[in-house]
Amino acid sequence: MARPEDIEKFKEQAEAVQTVPVEVNDFAAAFEYAADLTLKQGGRNIAAPAITGKNLCRGLGVTKEPRELLDKAGLEYVESKDEAVCCGFGGSFSMDFPEISAELLKRKLNCAESTGAEVLVTDCPGCVLQLRGGMKKRGGRMQVKHIAEIVAGQLKE
């Protein structure tokens, strides 16, 4: 629960970045209150191969922050083979090259499922759509979630 003095500070921070799009991992890491983020621990300690979006890990070199958020949320990070390889969505790529997209998706899901994890976590909304749809189509047991869903689900009330 935010203290009254924190609310004013948050308003100032929000106003400063309101017109600048910020990726959720950077957002959580950038603000002081992220260090005090109170998440539920225990009872949900499941392995999660973090599949970071190509823009985040390859474009910006951000890999540590998503793993730290998963850890804080009580999930164990498990590395997945080729996790930095595209899932095949890539905006219009999946429509322009459906056969290649389907093969990339199949490979990505095979690698993720081979970890034995229960949840596949990504920070890219496009990847969530692609991976969730692919997992549902193949009848896989693994859940696909955006990292913000993981964190929101673990917030203490």
Sign of the CA dihedral with 64 first, then 65, 70, and 71 last: positive
Give the pLDDT score at 136: 96
Give, for all 157 residues of the chain, the pLDDT tens digit: 556 777 777 677 777 766 656 566 555 555 444 445 555 554 444 556 666 665 666 666 777 777 877 777 778 888 888 887 888 998 888 999 999 999 999 999 999 999 888 888 888 888 899 999 999 999 999 999 888 888 777 776 5
Task: Kindly state whether residue 2 falls inside one of the protein's structural domains.
Answer: no
CATH number at residue 133: 3.40.50.1860
Task: Kindly state whether residue 107 falls inside one of the protein's structural domains.
Answer: yes
CA dist., res. 118 & res. 91, Å (int)? 26
User: Would the pTM of this model clear 0.75, i.e. be above it?
Assistant: no
Number of structural domains in the chain:
1
Task: Kindly state whether residue 121 falls inside one of the protein's structural domains.
Answer: yes
Quick one: 61 exposed, middle or buried, by C-beta within 10 A (0-12, 13-18, 19+)?
exposed
Task: Kindly state whether residue 11 falls inside one of the protein's structural domains.
Answer: no
Task: Kindly state whether residue 26 falls inside one of the protein's structural domains.
Answer: no
Q: Please tell me whether residue 145 adopts helix, strand or coil conformation.
A: strand
Among 53, 58, 46, CA closest to 108:
53
Q: C-alpha angle 85/93/129, rounded to 5°?
A: 70
